[in-house]
Amino acid sequence: ERYSAQLPCLHEGLNARDGTKYPHLNSWFTAMETSVPAYACRVQGNPSSWRKVLTMAGFGNAGVPPDVIDRMDDFNVEEARSQSEEERVIEQKLWDDYRSTRSWLALTPSAEAGKTLLNNRQAIVKDTVKRSSSLEGKGIPLDEKNLDRAMRALATILIYGTEDDGKYDELKQASSEAASVNGVYALAKFLDERMCVPRDMGSMSAAAIKRLAALA
């Protein structure tokens, strides 16, 4: 899993998921991600988190080479794209299977992300305010009251998800209004940058935040 995220950044063309070069390895990835709900929904790390490890590890005193940074940026753009309907349906089926024995979970991966934010809202707000000096000019409200409002708005958008989800239709109007709250997408971007998967939440839920972060 780690190699599949990091090697393409370090060596152009070295992709562990290339089914033509590594068919058995690619089959393992496919089987784990489509046939093992617990892995796909909660255990699996995400490429973005694994790539962050590269930036922390460093390469001597010179930092991360520019070509590696460029490749990482390219992959981040790809991961932030909107889901296709086919991808959404496949993901929801896995989530439904996973949730069938875990009734405390939200009805969708996106809603679970929103619930996690609400459950940890106070700690996240305090952590964000502590970093206020480095966040000035990034569009994030830096006082607790408005930051809390943006956090609740982001959670509302995540819990509603999309119209196609059809799970929390009663939040449609609230989600639409939440989208205009000051700093809501900038906050999503900040949380995406701080996210560690699967420590903070499962990869499907984290992906919902990343897609909103792309709107900042």
Could you read off the pLDDT of 66-110 as tens digits, one per residue? Answer: 677 778 878 888 889 999 999 999 999 999 999 999 999 999 999
Three-class secondary structure of residue 106 per DSSP = coil
Single out the residue of 204, 185, 41 nearest to residue 110, CA to CA.
204
pLDDT in tens, 190-209: 999 999 999 999 999 999 99
Interhelix angle 203-213/144-160, rounded to 10 degrees, is 110
pLDDT of residue 13: 87
Contacts of residue 146, defined as CB under 8 A and 6 or more positions apart, other chains included, come to 182, 183
- Locate 10 and state its tokens: 């370090």
In the chain, alpha helices (H):
2-10, 23-35, 37-38, 47-57, 66-79, 85-99, 109-119, 121-130, 132-135, 144-160, 172-178, 184-194, 203-213
Three-class secondary structure of residue 156 per DSSP = helix
Contacts of residue 14, defined as CB under 8 A and 6 or more positions apart, other chains included, come to 7, 8
Residues 166, 124: contact at Cβ < 8 Å? no
Q: How far apart are the first and last CA of the chain?
A: 29
- Locate 82 and state its tokens: 């909107």
pLDDT in tens, 122-163: 999 999 999 999 999 999 999 999 999 999 999 999 999 999
CA dist 150 and 140 (Å) reads 8
